[in-house]
Structure 1
């Protein structure tokens, strides 16, 4: 809509960052993402926002309840909405074509958001020489080409804290120098998602750039005092056994204060994708021991302490906390994409359930609302969730950016 601030979302993932900006009143012009399942998720969410704008969310609810198929669903969504999602890798060959597709829809862009894949800067298990050789380190240059082409008033760039130290800080220095050459003053800070209503300790670097003539510095984003826990976040979801799943089910309790204030349970009277992965007996026994140890002494299970019959790895010196219980009475540790591979690092705090967390539980820890639907397999959904920017954190950033942009 012409009265809204327009933005492009680069390396959009499942559009967690966009979700916060749309909630704050921004209008997306385009999402660019290379992962096909994530792109399908973005299209479904774009369809949600369109149907919400014309008061036809009942049709969306039919789709996520599997009462109609995807062909029937997308047939009712304007091509312009669906075509705004570009499933393509941003590189030297594709970038001009991407520019042209965006310009067919809109040429005036107020803001660019997004962050290149963060695994390149992850400190976990990476040798410095591997980090330096990883081509993803240079994706900020592609980001900059969008700044040069569309000349937005500002940008918001998100990444992991490891970005600051990669190559002894040289990568980050190069990034700032490059963006400055493009005409932007660059500011950054490390934010923790738990300061913005997310029940998760998740530190991220937020880089804000302003056109030099309108430099407003690093914004002061409004924090949320969080007096709620993981148990509050999971309180109304049905109990699950390992391997059990509810594609669609009812809530087991009414809304509590956190679910109301956060907007996670936001109008739908059912919950989707409450899906748990199966576990073998050995893993279940390890999970049980991990939960008991945490419940009894608030101590983490260390891999070397397991009896020999439960061990599967000879390496007892690294990744000793490979089995980790989510803290039910506090905030969760960081949810990352590895959750798609196994659930050992995200064991449910309830010993009666003794399993890793479900897709919907992971989504809630990332602050995705319950009507947000993830396309693809269970593993694809977990990966999208783990890679995402928490929407509530994005919303806090977006509210302040909107306030400042409207002053210009």
Structure 2
């Protein structure tokens, strides 16, 4: 392997001696990407996260007891050199080998293709442009740390956002900086995650490290619902157009699931072993009450419930074991809706839920009149009863607002919106008749049971929904680690000179 001079050379020599690649996680959230990379053998050196609660979660899980790591950081306000000095992680040019994470798509897409190039060439000219701030800050970190590899993640629409293909533009900028780069769409269900989550991933390597990009081969098989294919086609619109017109691009079709692969992990395999929370019974007993939900009460595992291979993996994840039980098995207080949930069938959405609610209202109205109560149509009593049973949302405008999960299929995408309400993931078990708990959401994202979320229930839901599933991150990290393993082709003389210099 031909080495470059300077920082890249020194990093490659260090890795050739068997050292772990060091990771800087930008826009880290609570640490889904970090966890997958750690599991693959990377060292989580530092992170940048603006949300105080998410920053606290990341620090608690990857640098426990280090209060500096829990400080929220705004990437537009903290210069790379300041980060390095504050954390004491060494020379900025040699402190980090890999940068993972990526800015929100708005940081790129509102700028436009031509301006991306202008920003790249004349960053100071756009210092006060709010649309370019996150993008310039991100490029500033890449420039300052000179990582050997980069991984970015975003929603599929970033490939067709505001009429242009953001990852393609990013690849072009990175190629100008000495990287080989490619991007694709991956669905988490193909990689052992019990969730059909589709995301764009971009990988870049310094040309001194690799000459081509590969994405992980699927480990599981699944037939995705039709909606996923149509959404992917929309996201790929600009890539398809570029292909048809003969224009080059850096998109690589995702590897296909071939051979005798096991079926995707189902919702029941993911959460079926967790202790039951029968919401209606809990409500009657006064256990379930209105108020903030803290994540500080231990819930012991139920030894009578069988744990799947996936569930055992979540319980036994190295350094994140939870032998005694879990502390975040808490649910929303939704007294109006528990009975509706119990009547819904798996796959039902809000229109079906609304019909069940109307049926329940008619039943209650009939019972009241049979007791001799005089409740006339449109009377205050009539309206109060209706309001106490029937949700207020227009069933013709919000068909996807509610969904009852399928038991024997991966869950739909876990979103950050869970921090506001959880109707998108109603538990498949009608006896429990509730939305999923914080720990169930974490399981569906493949967070191990010993992973701790700071804050209260809503904040935990938001962190989980914003994260990259750790098992998908692990698959990507393993593939990227293969490139680092090839650094061992350095000569013994080079290794000796590096050790001597160190």
| TM-score, normalised relative to structure 2 | 0.65
Coordinate RMSD, CA, aligned: 2.9
For structure 2, list consecutive stretches of 5 or more residues without a partner in the other structure.
Answer: 1-13, 110-128, 221-261, 280-287, 362-385, 488-502
What SS does structure 2 have at the residue aligned with 1:274? coil
Rounded to whole Å, the distance in 1 between the matches of 2:477 and 2:211 is: 15
User: Do the aligned residues in 1 keep the contact of 2:349 with 2:401 (CA within 8 Å)?
Assistant: no
What SS does structure 1 have at the residue aligned with 2:275? coil
Look up the match of 1:156. Answer: 151
Selected match of 1:251 from 296, 301, 308? 301
Shift of 1:96: 4.9
Look up the match of 1:351. Answer: 430
1:112 aligns with 2:126: no
Rounded to whole Å, the distance in 1 between the matches of 2:308 and 2:395 is: 42
Rounded to whole Å, the distance in 2 between the matches of 1:41 and 1:250 is: 22
Selected match of 1:365 from 423, 431, 444? 444
What SS does structure 1 have at the residue aligned with 2:164? helix
Shift of 1:404: 1.0
Shift of 1:286: 3.4
Shift of 1:324: 0.7
User: Do the aligned residues in 2 keep the contact of 1:144 with 1:179 (CA within 8 Å)?
Assistant: no
Look up the match of 1:65. Answer: none
For structure 1, list consecutive stretches of 5 or more residues without a partner in the other structure.
Answer: 49-73, 123-133
1:90 aligns with 2:75: yes
Q: What does 1:9-408 correspond to in 2, within 5 Å?
A: 9-47=25-63, 74=65, 79=66, 82-91=67-76, 94=79, 96-101=81-86, 104-105=89-90, 107=92, 108=94, 109-117=96-104, 139-225=134-220, 226-227=262-263, 228-242=265-279, 243=288, 247-252=297-302, 253-260=305-312, 262-266=313-317, 267-272=321-326, 273-281=328-336, 283-289=337-343, 291-292=344-345, 294=346, 298-302=347-351, 305=355, 307=358, 309=386, 310-313=390-393, 315-408=394-487
Rounded to whole Å, the distance in 2 between the matches of 1:356 and 1:258 is: 21
Rounded to whole Å, the distance in 1 between the matches of 2:172 and 2:273 is: 49
Relative distance call for 1:3 and 1:342 in structure 2 (3 A) is same
User: Do the aligned residues in 2 keep the contact of 1:24 with 1:395 (CA within 8 Å)?
Assistant: yes
Rounded to whole Å, the distance in 2 between the matches of 1:115 and 1:321 is: 28
Deviates more, 1:245-254 or 1:319-328: 245-254
User: Do the aligned residues in 2 keep the contact of 1:30 with 1:86 (CA within 8 Å)?
Assistant: no
Rounded to whole Å, the distance in 2 between the matches of 1:22 and 1:207 is: 19
Relative distance call for 1:380 and 1:197 in structure 2 (3 A) is same
User: Do the aligned residues in 1 keep the contact of 2:22 with 2:44 (CA within 8 Å)?
Assistant: yes
